[in-house]
Amino acid sequence: MIEDNYKQRGLRNKLVKKLREKGISNDAVLAAIAKVPRHAFFDDALLNHAYEDKAFPIGEGQTISQPYTVAFQTEKLDVKPGDKVLEIGTGSGYQAAVLVEMGAKVYTIEYNKKLYERTREFLPGLGYRPFFFYGDGSKGIPAKAPYDKIIVTAGAPVVPTALTDQLNENGVLIIPVGDRESQKMLRITKTNGKLKKEEYDNFAFVPLLGEQGWK
């Protein structure tokens, strides 16, 4: 079992304070970040950095996202308990853990086989049990659609039509779109079958690989 002591809880509370200062105001998002033991996702060599507001490598050319990015995307997703959420890019599983902590029913898909296997084995040990899938996340998971919310944790060249097609009426899709170096965060809502797009600041994500992502 992962040790989670008062020191780590104190560091999480400091991180939450920093996220508030940076403009994150959703109490449910901040409460989830205050609960998920981020240090459990780090190798021993990087353990002291777990509660810094930075992204860190997790192997396989991937990173665990910066806490601010996780908080920003999750806040824009507007997650409610019981929401059916599709996550594209399981990675370390940290974002999925935050969503599960918020009461969402999470379906998460990972393109990298080693990461998929590692996270599928590791995350339930922390008490977080999303539904894990391996495959091309740019195509979503049509067999389990539709979804109330979809979150993409990798940068896409365009918004995959497969994802907007799998979005429920009044659903929300959060996706970074741009080139391989920098992306704008898009919030897409579906109302009466029509898509409305809002655009936010620049972010830098690893590329979304797949048929409707980067080849």
pLDDT of 198 > 80? The answer is yes
Q: Model-level pTM greater than 0.85?
A: yes
The 10s digit of each residue's pLDDT in 26-71 is 999 999 999 999 999 988 778 888 999 999 887 777 788 899 999 9
213 domain-assigned? no
214 domain-assigned? no
Looking at residue 1, its pLDDT comes to 55
- Per-residue pLDDT averaged across 72-87, rounded? 97
Highest mean pLDDT among 34-48, 56-70, 93-107, 196-210: 93-107
The CATH number of the domain holding residue 92 is 3.40.50.150
Give the chain's domain count.
1
pLDDT of 85 > 80? The answer is yes
Mean pLDDT, all residues of the chain:
94
147 domain-assigned? yes
Annotation says 65 is catalytic:
yes
215 domain-assigned? no
The domain containing residue 141 runs over which residues? 6-203
150 domain-assigned? yes
Contacts of 9 (CB under 8 A, 6+ apart): 34
1 domain-assigned? no
Query: What confidence category does residue 96 fall into, taking pLDDT thresholds of 50, 70 and 90?
Result: very high
Query: What confidence category does residue 80 fall into, taking pLDDT thresholds of 50, 70 and 90?
Result: very high
212 domain-assigned? no
Of 25, 65, 138, 182, which one is the catalytic site residue? 65
209 domain-assigned? no
> How deeply is 169 buried, as exposed, middle or buried, from its count of CB atoms within 10 A (0-12, 13-18, 19+)?
exposed
- Per-residue pLDDT averaged across 204-212, rounded? 88
Query: What confidence category does residue 125 fall into, taking pLDDT thresholds of 50, 70 and 90?
Result: very high
Q: What are phi and psi of 4, to 5 degrees?
A: -135, 95
HEC string of the chain? Answer: CCCCCHHHHHHHHHHHHHHHHCCCCCHHHHHHHHHCCHHHHCCHHHHHHCCCCCCEEEECCEEECCHHHHHHHHHHHCCCCCCEEEEECCCCCHHHHHHHHCCCEEEEEECCHHHHHHHHHHHHHHCCCCEEEECCHHHCCHHHCCEEEEEECCEECCCCHHHHHCEEEEEEEEEEEECCCCEEEEEEEEECCEEEEEEEEEECCCECECCCCEC
Question: pLDDT over 90 for what percent of the chain?
Answer: 80
Looking at residue 214, its pLDDT comes to 84
Query: What confidence category does residue 105 fall into, taking pLDDT thresholds of 50, 70 and 90?
Result: very high
- Tokens standing for 133? 């899938």
